[in-house]
Structure 1
Amino acid sequence: MTYPMWTAGKWLTKSLTLAALCIGVIGAPLQADQLRVLTSMPPSFYQPFVTAFGELFPDIEVAMLNKNTNASVDELLRGNERQFDVFWSSSPEAFELLHQNGHLAVSETSGAPAVNSFAYSALGWTQKRASPVSKTADWEALLAADKTGTIAMARPSRSGSTHMMLERTLQVRGWQEGWAYLLELAGNLSTITARSFTVLDGVANGRFEIGLTIDFLAHARAEEDLTFVYGTPVMVTSARIGILTGGNAPAAARQFVDFVVSDAGQRLLMTPDIARTPHSASIRAEATAPYHQVLEDALTLNWLEYDAALASERYWAVNALFDAFVFEVFETRREAWRRLRVLEAQHDAPTVEMNDIQRLLTSLPIGEDDVGNEGRATNGNAFATLSDRQEASLQVWRGASRDILHEADVLLRVLERRAARDVVRD
């Protein structure tokens, strides 16, 4: 099926109607002609699609609910009681989790999950164009001393795109080296926010200089003087949309998904208010914005495919480890890094003790093979209700985190007392 293009003017004429449609309707009794879509996308992304779809199918009422990826997966794993028909997200591992647990519809023709890729995305960070902090595309540069206190990121257990950033780091660098990078990055963080959008808000209003994010969120806010830096090497992932089991409008769901991946839907992605790179190669060929070419080049050189299945197996475990070793002890860990940097600045080269502290602060004493069962156990349960095994693992991880930070603190105190005595003697 082909679809006409839609103008910005038409989107604006329906904005008030759409707002009324999207507020409060999810809690209302289900109507036979109502399509329910659960998405982590912001309204600025999905509203043009809903408006354009409504022009084509005026008899189908589309009700949207915006919810972060992890909370969405949690609700769907608990049974999809609100009978959502479509799930729409940038997180490929979320669809793997839903597929493993039978929550994705199956195509009648192919027998495969009824899921389509609709766009490409990549990770990096946003800054103000006039930011005094130097811009670089090197992930390692984020660990430099001049970045201390300038960086913000969302909590991975509340943000699908940030969870994907963690997984990308672990898959590219390896489990231990990846965690070492993340634990050192924590020393340069200004804050950990509750949602991805809050990271961009903070950069826009000057709360912090660098915000770790996904490309399209920053591109869509270019008018706020935000620019996006693709971390190199650029690693591309495909965003997806899928039809759920337990919905009430499977035919309408298929029509909606078909529209999103149609030429007209793919062209909507390239409008400035959405600013995403289409999955369709023929439509990407029409793109003119510079960032489209960045992803096009990366697709030809995508040397490491993102393993969404692996990410889904340890979905809960990776988030829980980040919480135990970073989020729940954020101030303590960040202060330990600050104290170490002060001591390092007093010496021409790090001492043996300083190297020991560095190793402690970048250590995650949990092996990759130790988290598989905990990750898979989550697939059959709601994230909010931990199994006994998960709860036990979480307590062990929290204890290991506290022990490491305590050991680092003891060594830091020894060096700080020594440095104070040296100052007195001088």
Structure 2
Amino acid sequence: MRRSLLAAALGAAALLGHIAAQAGTVTVLTSFPKELTSAYQKAFEAANPGVKVEILNKNTTAAVAYVRELPEGQRPDVMWASAPDAFEVLSRNKLLQPAPETLNPAAPKKIGNYPLNDPDGLYYGQALAGYGMMWNTRYLKAHKLPAPKEWSDLTKPEYFGHVAISSPSRSGTTQLTVETILQGEGWDKGWSQILAMMGNAAAVTDRSFAVPDGVNNGQYGVGIVIDFFGLAGKYSGYPVDFVYPTMTAVVPANIALIAGAKNADEAKKFMAFTMSAQGQQLLFDPKISRLPILPYSQLKAPAGYPVPQEVAARAKVQFDAKLSEARYQVVISLFDQMVTFRLKELQAATKAIHEADRALKAKPNAKGAELLAQARSLAYTPLVGEANVRDEEFLELFRKNRRDVAVSKQLTGLEQLWADKARANYERATKLAGEARALAK
């Protein structure tokens, strides 16, 4: 009798243990918008009764810092974001663990020449993304502006005050866009183009979502965005359109199992679901509008929907995630000191440059042209040269922990020098452009 009761008790305990294991909660750390995460949360929970999905939303930079700060056993289960270099940071810090059983064998190995999955097997492409410009068709018509096609279009005088972007220090997708231009054009030329574009900016927003929202409602004319923001607006019925410039890249948005995950088994189920045909089909939802990794032959794509392999074939940039990761902190810090925190001064310099350019075209003057060239050089030359970002010692400084008082003091001092130099350059450029304009009267 006692043996029977003991066996029954052990069986019940085993059953309860199995049920408890099946009924875990998957904590997903992501920068993705609620429209996407809610759709996957609902679909996965319906397909996996008893397993719950908890969404922890943070921008990519904050998400990486969050994982790095937590001890093993207290970390979220899944990291899900667009920026491949963020996953490189986590990988380098041994904060990811392989989960090859989650992969869908029907997915291609590469998108263009770019590997879909991490060669070391620690993170995997779950969707695809390119970078470009969205615009409000009614806004452009009202302001008599042509639709932009290339990044260089946004440096033109007619776009002054009509462009919006988010800060790359607050948005992983913007950091990728900036890095794509830098890789495509080269460090110096790329920064020149970025600064000239930003001189035309109406705003640098805190979050990436604010840019498409502003374009959708007509607050801004043109937004520099990752493709799914533009496509979501278009397919949701807003008066917007989107274009991939030739200087773009198509890279995976990734998903990974975090090392020391609390519920690894359930986490792997979630990851596999996102890469399954059912999970990939969700990407075509108008509110999501992302490019899938699976071939369209296995999915039902909307008519006229962009085909990732075709976009990748046209793209001129073969994105280097390791290069991006190596100079990640330098790029976002430099952008903030030259653009985000000095936008008014950069706008003033750019406005003066545009006005001088118009005056000199109407009435050429050699001295004026020389002054204008000096103004452009001051306003649109990066404060850090390419030689610096090839210097491993310089890059290592930006990888150090800012919580270290000595490191924080050194970085803060350097960034203050950049900020002061940027302000002085923009003020000097404004003055020189004004002098150039005066000579054309």
Q: TM-score range by the shorter chain?
A: 0.7 to 0.9
After the TM superposition, which of the residue ranges 89-98 and 210-219 deviates more from structure 2?
210-219
Does the C-alpha gap of structure 1 residues 225 and 421 become closer, same or farther in structure 2, counting only changes over 3 Å? closer
Does the C-alpha gap of structure 1 residues 358 and 280 become closer, same or farther in structure 2, counting only changes over 3 Å? same
**Structure 2 equivalent of residue 238 of structure 1:** 252
CA deviations 1:48-97 (Å, max 9, x no partner) are 21112112211211111111111111111212675200010011111111
- Which residue identity is paired with 2:45? G
Does the C-alpha gap of structure 1 residues 255 and 377 become closer, same or farther in structure 2, counting only changes over 3 Å? farther
Q: Is the 8 A contact 1:41 1:89 kept in 2?
A: yes
With normalisation by structure 2, the TM-score equals: 0.81
- Which residue identity is paired with 1:343? A
Q: Does 1:361 align with 2:379?
A: yes
Question: How far off is 1:367 after superposition?
Answer: 2.2
Q: Does 1:171 align with 2:183?
A: yes
Q: Is the 8 A contact 1:320 1:394 kept in 2?
A: no
Q: Is the 8 A contact 1:104 1:245 kept in 2?
A: yes
Counterpart Cα distance in 1 of 2:75 and 2:217: 38
Counterpart Cα distance in 1 of 2:195 and 2:163: 14
Paired residue for 1:298, among 294, 307, 311? 311
Q: Does 1:187 align with 2:199?
A: yes
Give the aligned CA root-mean-square deviation in angstroms: 2.8
Does the C-alpha gap of structure 1 residues 59 and 404 become closer, same or farther in structure 2, counting only changes over 3 Å? closer
**Structure 2 equivalent of residue 102 of structure 1:** 94
**Structure 2 equivalent of residue 115 of structure 1:** 123
Q: Is the 8 A contact 2:25 2:54 kept in 1?
A: yes
Does the C-alpha gap of structure 1 residues 391 and 328 become closer, same or farther in structure 2, counting only changes over 3 Å? farther
Question: How far off is 1:274 after superposition?
Answer: 1.8
Question: How far off is 1:397 after superposition?
Answer: 4.5
Question: How far off is 1:399 after superposition?
Answer: 2.1
**Structure 1 equivalent of residue 76 of structure 2:** 84
Q: Is the 8 A contact 2:27 2:77 kept in 1?
A: yes
Question: How far off is 1:404 after superposition?
Answer: 5.1
Q: Is the 8 A contact 1:324 1:401 kept in 2?
A: yes
Q: How many residues align?
A: 391
Counterpart Cα distance in 2 of 1:75 and 1:263: 31
**Structure 2 equivalent of residue 328 of structure 1:** 341
Q: Aligned to 2:319, what secondary structure does the other structure show?
A: coil
Does the C-alpha gap of structure 1 residues 143 and 410 become closer, same or farther in structure 2, counting only changes over 3 Å? closer
Q: Aligned to 2:130, what secondary structure does the other structure show?
A: strand
Counterpart Cα distance in 2 of 1:337 and 1:400: 19
With normalisation by structure 1, the TM-score equals: 0.84
Q: Is the 8 A contact 1:97 1:379 kept in 2?
A: no
Q: Aligned to 1:135, what secondary structure does the other structure show?
A: coil
CA deviations 1:246-293 (Å, max 9, x no partner) are 220001111110111111111221232321111122557743442423
Q: Percent identity?
A: 27
- Which residue identity is paired with 1:100? R
Does the C-alpha gap of structure 1 residues 289 and 306 become closer, same or farther in structure 2, counting only changes over 3 Å? farther
Map of 1:1-400 to 2, 5 A cutoff?
A: 33-79=24-70, 82-107=74-99, 112-131=120-139, 132=141, 133-222=145-234, 223-281=237-295, 283=297, 286-293=300-307, 295-348=308-361, 349=364, 351-371=369-389, 372-379=392-399, 381=401, 385=403, 388-389=406-407, 391-400=409-418
Question: How far off is 1:108 after superposition?
Answer: 7.6
Does the C-alpha gap of structure 1 residues 313 and 32 become closer, same or farther in structure 2, counting only changes over 3 Å? farther
Structure 2 residues not aligned, in runs of 5+ = 1-21, 102-117
Structure 1 residues not aligned, in runs of 5+ = 1-30
Does the C-alpha gap of structure 1 residues 69 and 407 become closer, same or farther in structure 2, counting only changes over 3 Å? closer
Counterpart Cα distance in 1 of 2:37 and 2:429: 52
CA deviations 1:291-330 (Å, max 9, x no partner) are 423x331233455321111111111111001111111111
CA deviations 1:186-233 (Å, max 9, x no partner) are 110000000111011211222211111111122223322222222224
Q: Is the 8 A contact 1:317 1:374 kept in 2?
A: no
Q: Is the 8 A contact 2:255 2:271 kept in 1?
A: yes
Counterpart Cα distance in 2 of 1:262 and 1:331: 47
Does the C-alpha gap of structure 1 residues 107 and 99 become closer, same or farther in structure 2, counting only changes over 3 Å? same
After the TM superposition, which of the residue ranges 306-315 and 389-398 deviates more from structure 2?
389-398
Counterpart Cα distance in 2 of 1:35 and 1:378: 33
- Which residue identity is paired with 1:46? T
Does the C-alpha gap of structure 1 residues 386 and 318 become closer, same or farther in structure 2, counting only changes over 3 Å? farther
